[in-house]
Amino acid sequence: MDRVSSFDEPLKKLLGGATAKVMAEHLDLHTVGDLLHHYPRRYEERGKLTALADLPLDEHVTVVAQVADARILMFNNGRGKRLEVTLTDGSGRLQLVFFGHGVHKPHKELLPGRQAMFAGKVSVFNRKMQLAHPTYQLLDASDADEATEAVDAFAGRLLPIYPACKQLDSWRIAKAVDAVLPSARDAVDPLPASLREGRGFTPLPEALLKVHRPQTKADVEDARARLKWDEAFVLQVALARRRYADTQLPAVARRPTPDGLLDAFDAKLPFTLTEGQQKVSKEIFDDLATEHPMHRLLQGEVGSGKTMVALRAMLAVVDAGGQAAMLAPTEVLAQQHHRSITEMMGELAEGGMLGGSDRGTKVVLLTGSMGMAARRQALLDLVTGEAGIVIGTHALIEDKVQFHDLGLVVVDEQHRFGVEQRDALRSKGKQPPHLLVMTATPIPRTVAMTVFGDLETSVLDQLPAGRSPIASHVVPAKDKPHFLSRAWERVREEVENGHQAYVVCPRIGDDAEEEKKGRAKKKGPEEDPDKRPPLAVLEIADELRRGALAGLVVEVLHGRMHPDEKDDVMRRFAAGDVHVLVATTVIEVGVNVPNATAMVIMDADRFGVSQLHQLRGRVGRGSAPGLCLLVSEAHEASPARARLSAVAATLDGFELSRIDLEQRREGDVLGQAQSGVRSSLRMLTVIDDEEVIAAAREEAVAVVAADPELEHLPELRTVLAALLDKDREEYLDKG
């Protein structure tokens, strides 16, 4: 086969249309370069078999094992045939099952003693692990051409096991890789020669050959070390260039005036700031005092006092003659921030008004659903500079909104804002304003260095005094239905003790489209016909009103309600008139009802670890202890149940975010949500490679400081351009 000249060659040319189509649709592989960067997940040694005992449920796996026995069973009065094959590997046994006409070929080939590779989805039947209708390839000598080929290809070598899909087995991917492997010689090496030699790295073409077709385990180690470095380094150079460009932007330094608004505010605080709040405030004030824009990420658990830190930064900017804007993802949250900030500031929030402080300023709210007159007044206060602080939703970004002198933008829950919005706000200042991004999702340091790599990071990890602990338990609804009945009794007890509760469901349940989608999905080949659609808010609320919680005031809250209706429900819940709120994840951020002490999360296995932790943070916000019950029908041995047990076992958000990452390390560790980095992280696992990422960041900073435009590193420029096509550029921005 001719050597392909470039990594950009479409796979269709080399592999034929059908295979290329499956690769594009199911594995997101389109070019020769994509396939060469689709690395084996692990390697099997011939003769040394997989640990069948450790297979994960519900996942598509490839195993190498030996046939222990095979038998044909009749059912349906002899009309149906089933072939059952037992595999063994010393660590455990695994059942294979074939039905109908599909039994003839495997019955002839899968004889006791035979060794083969098997691929399929692991399920449980009669308490035994099984693969139904797996595909397989024989590995010992037999008449089949394919088997001989397999033996020749893999004899005495490590067998690469690739991340595969139902439509394409690992060994077919291995064959496709063979077809494109000669192109590895064309790989453009992004590492500067001095760095490559200084760290003793294998050249890139050799690393690609070694990772796909290793002769020894040392080959695998060599290749992995090199490929991890490339990924970490290229990504860190992109981020270092972004940070460098930001330092070149001009900004107005904002230093608070002595005896000004900030000092007046601090003097009336009824408590002292935690050590963490003081340390983080200092980092922020140091940034605000420089002549280029601050770009800082402030992360801290729900209730760690982020709003207080942000407010003091805003007051410092107002003190220095500028204005500050706070962006919230929803109207409910914007109103809540406005309420709590004006309460904390008291007369200092009434600058220019009767009874207001002469050192005070005006704090205005600006949202899409405000009345015309109030909106006009707020816009006027902003353009004249009368209002030093504005709190609002995306409505703040509209063209009509003009500031007198915007000095600081605070963004709450960054992952809900795109880069376009960040830039639109930035353009409102005479010079780019300082930027503070807040998130309550705990982010391990390595992820902060990658996902949020263009921001400096501050962490608030102490909880202020007075927060109560939250007890969390898994409720196995399928195995132990009486546990669920007890859960509703507990909710009733909390209400009888004068408290309130949330019930969270994954779905709303009022939408014909939603139902249709659910049904269409259910018919798909991948879907388990027994798997019911996720539980819905409206159905559960009805059931509870009629059954377990009859006599209590049960209301619903979800995203498709009218804003006024939502506000009304939230107001009544906050006032204590509603006992139980059945909601979707709309309550995930910012709803603050200290009297709510219990939360029941239905179908908890359908939520991510970090999301469960976020939701749980809504209870235990007062002096009474919180209770969170995670209801699930997942099988005890499933990864989903393991996830829930982890959430129940710890309240440490950083620990949970590590677990979350470990769970999602399959494919792209940063999650497909940041689709922009589709093929940039294939080898690097953010969780295990902290040292690599930190070292790569240091090298990248040095390279960019010495040569910001990378004029002397054309190869690195080429690789960066491929990583940072339009989509991926956005990934870096959205964070």
Give Cα 229 distance to the centre of its chain: 23
Tell me: pLDDT of 413 over 80.
no
Sign of CA dihedral 202, 206, 212, 213: negative
8 Å CB contact between 436 and 649: no
**In sequence order, what are the beta bridge partners of 218?**
none
How many residues can be counted in the chain? 735
Residue whose pair of structure tokens reads 């506000």 in the numeric block? 567
Tell me: pLDDT of 77 over 50.
yes
8 Å CB contact between 137 and 119: no
pLDDT of residue 142: 52
Identify the H or E element spanning 409: strand 406-412
Tell me: pLDDT of 522 over 60.
no
What's the CA gap between 403 and 429, in Å, rounded? 7
Q: What are the residues whose beta carbons fall under 8 Å from the beta carbon of 347, sequence distance 6 or more?
A: 355, 356, 357, 360
Give the confidence band of 552 by pLDDT, cuts at 50, 70, 90. very high
Tell me: pLDDT of 3 over 60.
no
Residue whose pair of structure tokens reads 């470039």 in the numeric block? 6
Give the confidence band of 135 by pLDDT, cuts at 50, 70, 90. confident
Tell me: pLDDT of 68 over 60.
yes
Tell me: pLDDT of 212 over 80.
yes
Identify the H or E element spanning 563: helix 563-575
DSSP 492-559: HHHHHTT-EEEEE-SB----HHHHHHHHHHHHSTTS-TTPPPPPBHHHHHHHHHHTTTTTS-EEEE-T
| Mean pLDDT along residues 575-598 | 83
> What 3-state class would DSSP assign to 418?
coil
Residue in 505, 433, 463 with CA at minimum distance from that of residue 626? 463
Pairing of the two strands 626-632 and 470-476:
parallel
| Mean pLDDT along residues 511-532 | 48
Lowest mean pLDDT, pick from 313-317, 350-354, 562-566: 350-354
8 Å CB contact between 206 and 189: no
8 Å CB contact between 440 and 614: yes
CA torsion 38→41→42→43, rounded to 10°? -30
Tell me: pLDDT of 140 over 70.
no
| Mean pLDDT along residues 171-179 | 89
| Mean pLDDT along residues 104-129 | 84
**In sequence order, what are the beta bridge partners of 98?**
83
8 Å CB contact between 476 and 335: no
pLDDT of residue 5: 44
8 Å CB contact between 62 and 164: yes
Burial category of 12 from C-beta neighbours within 10 Å (exposed 0-12, middle 13-18, buried 19 and up): middle
What's the CA gap between 160 and 151, in Å, rounded? 13
Q: What are the residues whose beta carbons fall under 8 Å from the beta carbon of 574, sequence distance 6 or more?
A: 593
- Tokens encoding 202: 């294998």
Pairing of the two strands 295-300 and 456-460:
parallel
- Tokens encoding 329: 């993802």
DSSP 596-613: EEEEEETTGGGS-HHHHH
pLDDT of residue 717: 86
Give the confidence band of 407 by pLDDT, cuts at 50, 70, 90. very high
Q: Global pTM? A: 0.65
What's the CA gap between 679 and 677, in Å, rounded? 6
pLDDT of residue 525: 34
pLDDT of residue 570: 85
What's the CA gap between 50 and 89, in Å, rounded? 7
| Mean pLDDT along residues 77-100 | 84
What's the CA gap between 84 and 71, in Å, rounded? 5
As a whole-number percent, the residues of the chain with pLDDT over 90 amount to 23
Tell me: pLDDT of 420 over 90.
no
Tell me: pLDDT of 620 over 60.
yes
Tell me: pLDDT of 391 over 70.
yes
- Tokens encoding 519: 């049904």
8 Å CB contact between 303 and 621: yes
| Mean pLDDT along residues 544-559 | 91
What's the CA gap between 631 and 311, in Å, rounded? 38
What's the CA gap between 571 and 593, in Å, rounded? 10
| Mean pLDDT along residues 436-454 | 73
pLDDT of 629-652, one tens digit each?
999 988 777 778 888 988 888 877
Q: What is the DSSP letter of 51?
A: -
8 Å CB contact between 646 and 608: no
8 Å CB contact between 117 and 63: yes
pLDDT of residue 671: 34
Lowest mean pLDDT, pick from 40-44, 356-360, 394-398, 629-633: 356-360
Average pLDDT, the chain: 80
8 Å CB contact between 681 and 669: yes
DSSP 574-591: HHT--SEEEE-GGGTTT-
What's the CA gap between 394 and 510, in Å, rounded? 27
DSSP 328-353: -SSHHHHHHHHHHHHHHHGGGGBTTS
DSSP 151-206: HHHHTTSEEEE---BTTB-HHHHHHHHHHHGGGGGG----S-HHHHHHTTPPPHHH
Q: What are the residues whose beta carbons fall under 8 Å from the beta carbon of 545, sequence distance 6 or more?
A: 554
pLDDT of 361-379, one tens digit each?
899 999 888 888 988 999 9
Give the confidence band of 324 by pLDDT, cuts at 50, 70, 90. very high
pLDDT of 425-443, one tens digit each?
777 878 889 989 888 776 7
Lowest mean pLDDT, pick from 53-57, 140-144, 699-703: 140-144
What's the CA gap between 61 and 390, in Å, rounded? 53
